[in-house]
Amino acid sequence: MASTIKDVAKKANVSIATVSRILNDLPGYSPKTKKKVLDAIEELGYQPNAVARGLINKKTQTIGVLFPDVSSMLSSEILNGIENIAHELGHSVIVCHTDSSGKRTKKYLQLLNEKRVEGILYVSEVMTKEYDDIMKKMGIPVVLISTESLEFQLPYVKVNDRSAVFSATQYMINQGHKKLGMISGPKEDKIAGYPRAQGFLEALQHFGLSESEEQIIYTNGFAYEDGFNNLEPLLSRFPDLTGIIASSDDVAVGVISAAYKLGIKVPDQLSVIGYDNIKIAQMIIPPLTTVAQPLYEMGQVGAEMLFSSIASGKTVESRIMPHRIIERESVKKIN
């Protein structure tokens, strides 16, 4: 058994109150008692029991993070940022992989509530009324990362998806591309799918290019396969496309692989721009030009917002993070 504050008190011939004071840097003891106690702690290898502390303080120094997919490069980059801030502030992070399943999500929310975490980070997933209700009942701060809620007033940190894809499209146009297509996410996805498609359409319009929804293929998700399987259909609609806007880097990589299979050279015959700037973007051939979300920073900022909300008890303001184009080699300048 690990030793307790009582053991320390006994060994140092003081009361547990005194030990507690020393442990918590509260005033009220002489230097010599402090030394006695510190020595006893050292000898016993005593480490305070955070569970007992948590019970009385109602502070567990723990937050929960909900991801639809822990193993995606996007999630892990965000997690990395979260974890680093949490560590700086002496908090622990419990990861929860919801698998986009309502059942799992609810189970986790309950678990996190029972464990009395002090706040929740909800990443890359749509918020529903059901979850929002549960979280409200929990009475702890929540911040959304890489997602937002139109319906519920929850603070979030994300980039402006519409504007980011507008930038990507604008970049393509600036490189001389006039025949553009997009492989977008689900149209029903009001947070990431629809706005990105809108950004594309708006850019085409803004720069006076012919614009029709035909130029967009909506997919089920943002994965490699969604890109891989949809280049050919898109090309069959518009054989003279010179550039593709992908709704994620995974999709972009899928498009590049599909192009390779089809014998189409990227970027010589077809330019591709991605979205996210995950690790793979710089590792692939050709290195992927993409509009970057500052994923690591988003994790950090989200965590900072959450901790500030925990500390102040107030809700914090949402933050729109800057996106930026990372020029690599998958887009060719044409005339």
Partner DNA sequence: ATGAAAGCGCTAACAG
Partner DNA sequence: CTGTTAGCGCTTTCAT
- Judged by CB under 7 A, does residue 139 bind DNA? no
CA gap 133, 247 in Å, rounded: 31
Q: For the chain, how big is the Rg over CA atoms in Å?
A: 26
CA gap 271, 242 in Å, rounded: 6
Query: Got the DSSP string for 197-221?
Result: HHHHHHHHHHTT----GGGEEE-SS
- Judged by CB under 8 A, does residue 325 bind a copy of itself? no
> What does the block give as tokens for 26?
């509260």
Residue 229 pairs with which residues in a beta bridge?
Answer: none
> What does the block give as tokens for 129?
């009324």
x/- track of binding to a copy of itself for residues 44-73 (CB under 8 A)? -x-xxxxxx-xx----x-x-------xxxx
Residue 14 and residue 36 in contact, taking contact as beta carbons nearer than 8 Å: yes
The count of C-alpha atoms lying within 13 angstroms of the C-alpha of 282, restricted to the half-sphere facing its C-beta, is 6
Q: Quick one: what does residue 30 bind among DNA, a copy of itself, none, with the CB cut-off 5 to 8 Å set by partner type?
A: DNA
**Nearest approach, Cβ of 30 to DNA (angstroms)?**
4
CA gap 54, 50 in Å, rounded: 6
Q: Quick one: what does residue 4 bind among a copy of itself, DNA, none, with the CB cut-off 5 to 8 Å set by partner type?
A: DNA
Q: Quick one: what does residue 317 bind among DNA, a copy of itself, none, with the CB cut-off 5 to 8 Å set by partner type?
A: none
Contact with DNA (CB under 7 A) among 35, 39, 43, 49: 49
> What does the block give as tokens for 241?
């496309």
Instruction: Give the nearer residue to a copy of itself in terms of CB position, either 76 or 128.
Output: 76
Q: Quick one: what does residue 60 bind among a copy of itself, DNA, none, with the CB cut-off 5 to 8 Å set by partner type?
A: a copy of itself
**Nearest approach, Cβ of 167 to a copy of itself (angstroms)?**
25
x/- track of binding to a copy of itself for residues 241-270 (CB under 8 A)? ---------x--xx-xx--x----------
**Nearest approach, Cβ of 14 to DNA (angstroms)?**
3
